[in-house]
């Protein structure tokens, strides 16, 4: 599961191709919808997507997931405040 680094409107994901090429990574799926507001935990309850890996040992899988995740950069823009009167 790819955590939400900060709350905001999902505009762009950079590094997806590079993340998919990380050794051991088998799949990357961004499930969050573009231009939707995504709330970070603890207020939020969803993830940006999922990164999958396979290898011979749990440590190698963990390293693959960390390496793949490190290549991802999410552009989340702040939501404009709405004032109700």
Q: Give pTM, 2 decimals.
A: 0.83
Residue 57 to residues 43, 60, 64: CA-CA distances in angstroms? 34, 5, 11
* Chain segment 43-76, per-residue pLDDT in tens: 888 899 999 999 999 999 999 999 999 999 999 9
Residue 32 to residues 1, 37, 56, 57, 66: CA-CA distances in angstroms? 12, 9, 30, 30, 20
Question: What is the C-alpha separation between 54 and 64, in angstroms, rounded?
Answer: 8
Model confidence at 13, pLDDT cuts 50, 70, 90, reads: very high
pLDDT of residue 76: 96
pLDDT of residue 36: 93
Strand partners, 38: 8
Is 56 exposed, middle or buried, given 0-12, 13-18 or 19+ CB atoms closer than 10 A? exposed
Could you tell me which residue, 42 or 48, shows the higher pLDDT?
Answer: 48
pLDDT of residue 32: 94
What is the percentage of the chain residues whose pLDDT exceeds 90?
Answer: 85
């Amino acid at each position: 599961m790819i955590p939400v680094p900060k709350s905001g409107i999902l505009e762009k994901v950079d590094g997806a191709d590079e993340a998919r090429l990380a050794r051991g990574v088998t799949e990357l799926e961004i499930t969050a919808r573009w231009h939707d507001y995504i709330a970070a935990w603890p207020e939020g309850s969803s993830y940006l997507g999922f990164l999958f890996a396979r290898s011979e040992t749990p440590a190698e899988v963990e390293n693959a997931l960390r390496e793949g995740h490190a290549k991802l950069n999410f552009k989340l823009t702040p939501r404009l405040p709405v004032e109700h009167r």
